Amino acid sequence: MKLYDVYPLFNVNIVKGQGCKVWDEQGQEYLDLYGGHAVISIGHSHPHYVKMLSQQLNTLGFYSNSVINTLQQQLAERMGKLCGYDDYQLFLINSGAEANENALKLASFTNGRTRVLAAEKAFHGRTSLAVEATHNPKIIAPINANGHVTYLPLNDLSAWETELAKGDVCAVILECIQGVGGIRMVDKAFAQGLSALCKQYGAVLICDEIQCGYGRSGKFFAHQWLDIRPDMITCAKGIANGFPMGAVLISPDFAPVYGQLGTTFGGNHLACAAALAVLDVMEQEELVENARQVGEYLMERLKELQQEQPHIVDVRGRGLMIGVELDIPYKEVRNRLLFQEHCFTGCSGTNVIRLLPPLSVSKEQADAFVEKLKRCF
């Protein structure tokens, strides 16, 4: 059997990682400014993380959700206190797409409606309703194109109000910093106005924090910069530092019903051990604050580079979620970064380089990246 070939791959085989660095099979070291699509939150192979997972695997890796799992209860308590939502409820699954599927499903169960509003250039996953809420027709199969979703311009409050006023909107789903969409920022006035409109018209507000959340923005959640409090928050990626996990944080206004949501693997013992280890490290090493400080520093350095490099037309983002927009296709620059400078970065569209490093990245590593980028133009 061969692999189903859907990924255009770089000719690099990564076999080892430590902190913000990875190594290929030839022993070549790379600076990781992408963290495997924002998944590596506390750094590769963090010793506390490795210890916690090893201990748990030697004890019990998995049992079903038909019995008590005190690790789930510990995770809910710890996460609630750290993120400021200790009155919310936690539902655990295995990925970001699953988190969004379950949030949208619960919204529809609650108000009986079927229409969803999403932003232009949004990305919410590749499954069922999550992919329908993703503004990319190339990945929406005919079976997923069911007319549930209306896409609207980001930060255009009047356009969203027009649709909400029709009274048939089940949910609004929003990335407060769009990732795949090109590090596009939600305005505070728009977010607050949208939150109020959702309450007025009975629509459920879901903040998709899968990429922009879990400390990456310099607050636990990116929407906390905007002073809103959504009905549901979806998480994944950095929640378990590479172990498959997703979560939905659910307002106390939603009453749980036995059997309404469910999962086989979600919240298993090993996944919870991974997520608890991440919270330990985030707290002990003050990684949310590090993301804020180093993110601000890296943005400043990149804006300085912009003054001398005409191909850089914009630097935007918050914390350690940064986009560098070019007036040329990113392909050559990104290839030089990888193969000449040995540095991993991400991308968006055709001309945005996307930076999503581990939250533990240092100012020295930020400086090293800027020097590498300088040499790639």
- Tell whether 337 and 293 lie within a shared domain: yes
Q: What is residue 177's predicted lDDT score, i.e. its pLDDT?
A: 98
Instruction: Look at residue 355 and tell me if it is in a domain.
Output: yes
- Tell whether 160 and 30 lie within a shared domain: no
Tokens of 352: 């945005």
- Tell whether 161 and 260 lie within a shared domain: yes
Max Cα–Cα distance, the chain, nearest Å: 61
- Tell whether 28 and 60 lie within a shared domain: no
What whole-number percentage of the chain has pLDDT above 70? 100
Domain boundary among 240, 261, 284: 284
Distance, CA of 344 to CA of 28 (rounded, Å): 13
- Tell whether 36 and 167 lie within a shared domain: no
- Tell whether 129 and 228 lie within a shared domain: yes
Digit-by-digit pLDDT tens for the chain (377 residues) are 999 999 999 999 999 999 999 999 999 999 999 999 999 999 999 999 999 999 999 999 999 999 999 999 999 999 999 999 999 999 999 999 999 999 999 999 999 999 999 999 999 999 999 999 999 999 999 999 999 999 999 999 999 999 999 999 999 999 999 999 999 999 999 999 999 999 999 999 999 999 999 999 999 999 999 999 999 999 999 999 999 999 999 999 999 999 999 999 999 999 999 999 999 999 999 999 999 999 999 999 999 999 999 999 999 999 999 999 999 999 999 999 999 999 999 999 999 999 999 999 999 999 999 999 999 99
Instruction: Look at residue 3 and tell me if it is in a domain.
Output: no
Q: Give Cα separations from 24 to 14, 42, 67, 356 (angstroms).
A: 4, 20, 42, 20
- Tell whether 278 and 130 lie within a shared domain: yes
Instruction: Look at residue 1 and tell me if it is in a domain.
Output: no
- Cβ of 341: how many Cβ atoms within 10 Å? 18
- Tell whether 38 and 99 lie within a shared domain: no
Instruction: Look at residue 60 and tell me if it is in a domain.
Output: yes
Distance, CA of 21 to CA of 19 (rounded, Å): 6
Residue 104 maps to which CATH number?
3.40.640.10
**Would you give the distance in Å from CA 266 to the centre of its chain?**
18
Residue 368 maps to which CATH number?
3.90.1150.10
pTM over 0.95: yes
Cβ neighbours of residue 90 under 8 Å, at least 6 residues apart? 72, 75, 76, 79, 80, 247, 248, 249, 250
Is residue 358 classed as helix, strand or coil in its secondary structure? coil
- Tell whether 326 and 181 lie within a shared domain: no
Domain boundary among 284, 315, 347: 284
- Residue 161: its H or E element: helix 157-164
- Tell whether 56 and 118 lie within a shared domain: yes
- Tell whether 240 and 292 lie within a shared domain: no
Is residue 126 classed as helix, strand or coil in its secondary structure? coil
Q: Give Cα separations from 286 to 115, 218, 361 (angstroms).
A: 40, 10, 12
Instruction: Look at residue 38 and tell me if it is in a domain.
Output: yes
Instruction: Look at residue 245 and tell me if it is in a domain.
Output: yes
Q: Which domain holds residue 326?
A: 14-44+287-374
Looking at the structure of the chain, the number of domains it has is 2
Instruction: Look at residue 306 and tell me if it is in a domain.
Output: yes
Q: What is residue 144's predicted lDDT score, i.e. its pLDDT?
A: 97
- Residue 298: its H or E element: helix 287-308
Is residue 82 classed as helix, strand or coil in its secondary structure? helix
Q: What is residue 11's predicted lDDT score, i.e. its pLDDT?
A: 97
Instruction: Look at residue 212 and tell me if it is in a domain.
Output: yes
- Tell whether 24 and 133 lie within a shared domain: no
Domain boundary among 250, 267, 284: 284
Q: Give Cα separations from 295 to 23, 85, 207, 292, 358 (angstroms).
A: 24, 25, 22, 5, 11
Distance, CA of 336 to CA of 84 (rounded, Å): 42
